[in-house]
Amino acid sequence: KAGVTQTPRYLIKTRGQQVTLSCSPISGHRSVSWYQQTPGQGLQFLFEYFSETQRNKGNFPGRFSGRQFSNSRSEMNVSTLELGDSALYLCASNLGRYDDEQFFGPGTRLTVL
Amino acid sequence: KQEVTQIPAALSVPEGENLVLNCSFTDSAIYNLQWFRQDPGKGLTSLLLIQSSQREQTSGRLNASLDKSSGRSTLYIAASQPGDSATYLCAVKSGYALNFGKGTSLLVTP
């Protein structure tokens, strides 16, 4: 069974631009969560999508948004990029229950110049 | 708010040693606890999942225990190998999101 895939793996953007990251969950998984990892803050929850609906949201500004498609693939978008948005963005998927094991993808490394 | 702490932050051991990584959390009302491994610049690999009703889980040379009432978990690695060098992250699911510790950076020297 293929794991969680994320594209692109690396991105370089400049301040003020916007970016879209993509995540394909494990086949059969209906929940997709996004996390941001930085050296200073560690791993922080961005949001979770389940059956095309945002089910939960972390404490991030509205510049961070996402969506989920009918095939469970998810995208997250960051508008008006800031230097502090430079991070590893990780996507995780599971079947959808709160006690399910989470499986993570390899991440997208975003650098904002 | 769930707070997760991992001790030590870094650990260096010679190959062959058995070692214990510690994780503590502040709210005992959890769904489960997961241990992950992260290699530099890479994603997270799930090592062990312990549901709130369980006391321990084992996979190969790894054993994780959970004491929910005291808010503690330990990851035991037997007969460590250089390939075990990585950052180990503890994550607690007490709501809709995983709450992560800052990790223990492990170096196993030949």
Query: How do residues A69-107 score in pLDDT, each as one tens digit?
Result: 999 999 999 999 999 999 999 999 999 888 899 999 999
Cβ pair B36:A107 closer than 8 A: no
Find the radius of gyration of the CA atoms of chain B. Answer: 13
Task: Report the residue from A35, A58, A101 with minimal CB separation from B49.
Answer: A101
Interface of B with A in 26-65 (CB under 8 A): 31-32, 34, 36, 41-46, 49, 51-52
Instruction: Tell me the CA distances in angstroms from A42 to A55, A69, B39, B81, B90, one per residue in order.
Output: 23, 28, 15, 26, 12
Query: How do residues A18-30 score in pLDDT, each as one tens digit?
Result: 999 999 999 999 9
Contacts of B46 in chain A (CB under 8 A): 101-104
- pLDDT tens for the 110 residues of chain B, in order: 899 999 999 999 999 999 999 999 999 999 999 999 999 989 999 999 999 999 999 999 999 999 999 999 999 999 999 999 999 999 999 888 999 999 999 999 99
Residue A45, chain B, CB below 8 Å: the answer is yes
Pinpoint the alpha helices (H) of chain A. none
Using CA coordinates, name the residue in chain B closest to A102: B46
Distance CA A22, CA B65 (A): 35
Distance CA B95, CA B1 (A): 10
